[in-house]
Amino acid sequence: MDRRGSVLEPQSGLPSPSPRDPLLSPESHMDVQGYRWVCWRVWLCRLAAVLSLGLLLIVFRWRPRLAVLARCSSCPLALADILLLRDSFGQQYVVEVLTEEVEEGSMELVGDLEDRDWRDTVQLHKEEKTLLRYYLFEGLRYVWLARKGAFCRVSVLNEDWTCNDLYGFQNGLSLLEQSSRRHIYGPNLIDVPVKSYMKLLVEEVLNPFYMFQVFSITLWMVDKYYYYATCIFLISVFSISMSLYEIRKQSTTLRSMAQLITTVTVRRSSGEEECVSSVDLVPGDCLVIPQEGLLLPCDAALLAGECMVNEGMLTGESVPVLKTPLPAGEGRYSAETERRHTLFCGTQLIQAKGGGAGVRGAVAVVTSTGFFTAKGDLVSSILYPQPINFRFYRDAAKFLLVLGGIALIGTIYSFVVLRRSNVTVMELVIRTLDIVTIVVPPALPAAITTGTIYAQRRLKSQGVFCISPPRINVCGKVSLFCFDKTGTLTEEGLDVWGVMEAGAGGFSQLVPEPRLLPPGPMLSGLACCHTVALLGGQPLGDPLELKMIESTDWTLQEPEGDRTALDSEFGGHRVLAVMRPPAQQLQPEGSSTGEAAAIVRRFPFSSALQRMSVVTVAPGGRPALAFIKGAPEMVASLCSKETVPAQFSSILRNLTSEGFRVLALGYKALDEKTDLGTIERGTVERDMQFLGLLVMKNLVKPESAKVINTLRLAHLRSVMVTGDNILTAVNVAKSCGMVGSDEKVIFVHATPHAAQSTPTLRFHLGDGGAAATPQGSAEVVTQGLYQSDVGYHLAINGKSFAALCDHFPDYLPKVLMRATVYARMAPDQKTQLVKELQKLNYRVGMCGDGANDCGALRAADVGVSLSEAEASVASPFTSKTDDISCVPLLIREGRCSLVTSFSLFRYMALYSLIQFCSVLILYTVKTNLGDLQFLFFDMALVTLLAIVMGKGGPSEELHPRRPPASLLALPVLGSLLIHTSLNILGQLAALFITTSQDWFVPLNSTVSGAANLPNMEDTSVFALSGFQYIIMAVVVTKGYPHKKPLYYNFVFLGILLALFALMIWLVLYPGPVVGKVLQLYNITDMNFKMLLVALAALNFLVCFLMEVLIDQGILSCLRLLRGNRPSKKQYKRLDLVLSDSPTWPPLNQALSSTQYTVIGLS
């Protein structure tokens, strides 16, 4: 057997891809290695832990892999006690394999699963007892499947369920079946661990940061720095206490949000209904949903009845959604593809109805429980956030190593200097180690998060909520933003513009008021083809459908109480809803279409299918009618060709190019023998008769054009990704400024491989169809496009995008570089687009409504969901404003936070280097800073300045240049080197000026360190280094162009002035009391003191001037030595290639995927 395996990750059944979802991370399976305990190794490690006074255990805690290697031996996974996991991000975890005894013979209870994995799961030993081997990781349960030779998510056991399988569970599970499944699946609980304060304290203290603090405090106490050590100890205790309180508070809050335990009604195989705790639910349980609804504790597929659901908690979508029964069939069930038939955990079921005989509510079958549910995924994304691949965070860790190297050099130097001073061995060790505590500031990691914390607070105050604070800095580097159209760029609601009926002679004139239509299929279709439901007498549903019904003046009625009378009115069919015409409307004698219509079947709208349909019957049970509504191209393709007017394409093109939202309707009469209760969607939606077009006006939000213009001026690309018609999308792109009035739109048309043709790719001006521009005019236009520097944008639809990805991968990057409009894109295509753009090294932002855009929002580097919720499964950011004005705000805050993080990082590094230089200079002359001098610098100066430095808000406008993200870039390292050098020169100058004075008295050379205080050398270095801490705070604090100028940060400015005044006072006249406390030498020469202040002013002037020159790019001349190098970002290299290609794109040429060679990127 293999000693190494993998965790198989089945396709997730969540409403949106998660970081663990193969849709987002195809390589997301974990590498797993098995280990067994070795008794003698365990005892040897215990002995070593005792002898090392617990130090070995701390090392094992920091490096769990070492603990496993030291105490265990490698073994096959089937025999492992301990597993070492490594995820796709390279992070390693250690988990324990658990075993659970399962009842003998329980496997026979799950039915005919002889060839499935249940038996493999538990019958690992042919002994009297049957054991289940599993482990828990991030809330998910992984079980051992011997046949696969791997640990798999327990959800793999039900991932192959078909829709018919789910209907097979409609009669319910027996108690024994339910019990055996509960053993395997575990409890239906999203359990957020809330640790005790003692456990949290131990974990926090064993953090490397606090262990370094403990080491430092111990060292300072031994060195008799009692005041400083005590103060740092008290601050550390306060910091730990606050941290523990916040962690505990957040865990408790998240647990109260996540944990849902309620009583639900399930149906048993005996036919009885039983009330059970939701904790005991397992996949396959038949759930009876009460009429008044409930807060759902699991994911479930709806089998009978209809449910009105508020999914705002998960998707942020405020409009309730109508869920309809799952269609039966042999196709594999997927919560993503069947989301209109799936009830998700954590959503509020407002009402349920139509569940069948004896059921007042609805009936559903549990499909997922615990962390495998949609809500479980949301909680998991908060508990276990995906690592952020951001250069700033990677460089921060590398820079700490650089500081460690400097500490090593300082340690060697101090060892040599102190050795010559003939100090004791104990003092030599203490002084040498003290250098490490100075150079590597333990507060550095905490300090650089200050800017992010301030930014998060400012965002929250403006209605933007964030569940992943590190992504705020990522916002500062966004280079491209994708926008959904409907509800994001345009208004959510639409106004009916009119109806155009299709007839034998073509389309009729536009009828602006649908209520004026004569009774007939068109009017009935408009009134009936929807999923609107009543709640408290008020209609709820899609705003488009509400407007459509309102335009007909028909009224909606739903069954109440005893529904027998209503069912019998319509021929005994089970009625879901009734649409009744207005009473005053006169209807022709004997007309059935002008009468009330009962909706008996609904097939809700699907983004993938681009349509919805209903089945209606008239009073008396006369022949049923099926109506379809959806994208015009899709509906026309499902209608008989002879019923589609010849002008269909031209009329549609004209309407959509003017920015109208167009839907088409069709209908057909169903055979009297058709069983309406079991008819399938595929049977309904074919051979329809084309009825006509519903034209709606979708206005662009006023803020959209302003925001797009702001992004354009900031050189940030804007891209529209929509499920709407391509010409409508292009019109909206022009209206909001994505496409300029003087810019051309070139349509990309790609066809897949077919039986009679090979894949082709064409670029043409004009509409979104496949027709080419006439050859003569095309040449003139092409010549003008290539010679007059006219800007152009590409537009592509979902079908062409799919063909482009499959058959023209070489052209894909070039199309992505110039495409602005992506139309008729399915939800998974939106996700694919985001990932393809990221492959070009774009930092991609995505703004959408959180429902159909879930996958893209999660895949993007910065996902913004427009919703009322404070946290949703859709994205790391949610905005309560219903327009895209939050996007520039988020980018501005991201840039401000990133610049602030840079400033704080540089300041903390310079603070350490200034103190490092001060100590080494004073070591050289056999003295050191005093206890309270260290305390004054660290607390009164540095900590206070670092806290308030990040309070400055973002600039009011977006600058075309983005802030840097690399801490190891030449300007950053060059700046640190130059400022450190200038600070060393300043301190040395202060020392040499002091020693050159006539009144200078050398210190006592028989003693060393702080025992030599007060002395003139220390006082002069103290004075200048004190100024340098304040000077560096001013120098590294950046304002324009990404932050407001320093003088807008009133608190910071006030503290700066106060500290400058304090330092001047301490230098000129500290007074006997303060001088004694700080151990400062009383120098009476006022001219000398003024000289020190002047030297500090000169230090400030030179450092500030150098920083300005560095900002202006003075160090860029050093790059000339290495020559021009191509950008590391692929999209920048590709942009240069396209700019030098005057014949791209080739208009009106049929390009083959094999015969055409694109320009290389090398």
**484 tagged catalytic:** yes
Strands (E), 725-879: 744-751, 760-765, 792-797, 819-823, 844-848, 862-866, 877-879
| Residue recorded with tokens 């005093």 | 930
Using CB atoms within 10 Å of the CB of residue 502, give its burial: 0 to 12 exposed, 13 to 18 middle, 19+ buried: buried
Strand pairing category for 98-102 and 130-137: antiparallel
Q: Residues with Cβ < 8 Å from 189, sequence gap 6 or more?
A: 259, 261, 279, 370
Side-chain half-sphere exposure of 163, counting CA atoms within 13 A: 17
Residues in the chain: 1162
Q: Are 452 and 472 in contact (CB under 8 A)?
A: yes
N- to C-terminal Cα separation, the chain: 45
Residues 6+ apart with CB under 8 A from 945: 907, 1029, 1030, 1033, 1052, 1055, 1056, 1059
The CA R_g of the chain, rounded to the nearest whole Å, is 36
Between CA 875 and CA 18 the distance in angstroms is 10
Q: Which helix (H) or strand (E) holds 194?
A: none
Give yes or no for a contact between 860 and 834, defined as CB atoms under 8 angstroms apart. yes
Sign of CA dihedral 762, 767, 768, 770: negative
- 261-296 in b/e form (b: 16+ CB < 10 A) is eeebbbbbeeeeeeeeebbbbbbbbbbbbbeebbeb
Residue 460, CA distances (Å) to 184, 194, 869, 870 in order: 42, 26, 12, 9
Decide if 55 contacts 16 (C-beta within 8 A).
no
Give 554's DSSP letter: -
Location of structure tokens 């860790």: 397
CB atoms within 10 A of CB 1145: 22
Quick count: other Cβ atoms within 10 Å of Cβ 577?
26
Query: E-assigned strands of 881-1036?
Result: none
The single-letter DSSP state of residue 594 is: T
Question: DSSP string spanning 840-864?
Answer: TT--EEEEE-SSTTHHHHHHSSEEE
961 close to 912: Cβ distance less than 8 angstroms: no
Q: What is the DSSP string of 652-678?
A: HHHHHHTTEEEEEEEEEEPPTT--TTT
Residue 997 CA from chain centroid, whole number? 64
- Annotated active-site residue in 484, 724, 849, 883: 484
Q: How far is C-alpha 1087 from the geometric centre of its chain's CA atoms?
A: 61
Q: Are 720 and 821 in contact (CB under 8 A)?
A: yes
Q: Look at the block and give the residue holding tokens 């602006």.
A: 512
Distance CA 855, CA 23 (A): 9
Extended strands (E) in 543-655: 555-557, 577-580, 597-606, 611-617, 625-630
381's CB contacts (< 8 A; 6+ apart) are 18, 19, 467, 873
| 371, 827, 881 from 870: Cα distances, Å | 20, 23, 12
State the DSSP H helix or E strand holding residue 753, giving kind and residue range, or none if neither: none
Please tell me whether residue 875 adopts helix, strand or coil conformation. Answer: coil
Please state whether beta strands 689-697 and 717-721 pair in parallel, antiparallel, or not at all (unpaired): unpaired
Q: Three-class SS of residue 53?
A: coil
Q: Supply the residues annotated as catalytic.
A: 484
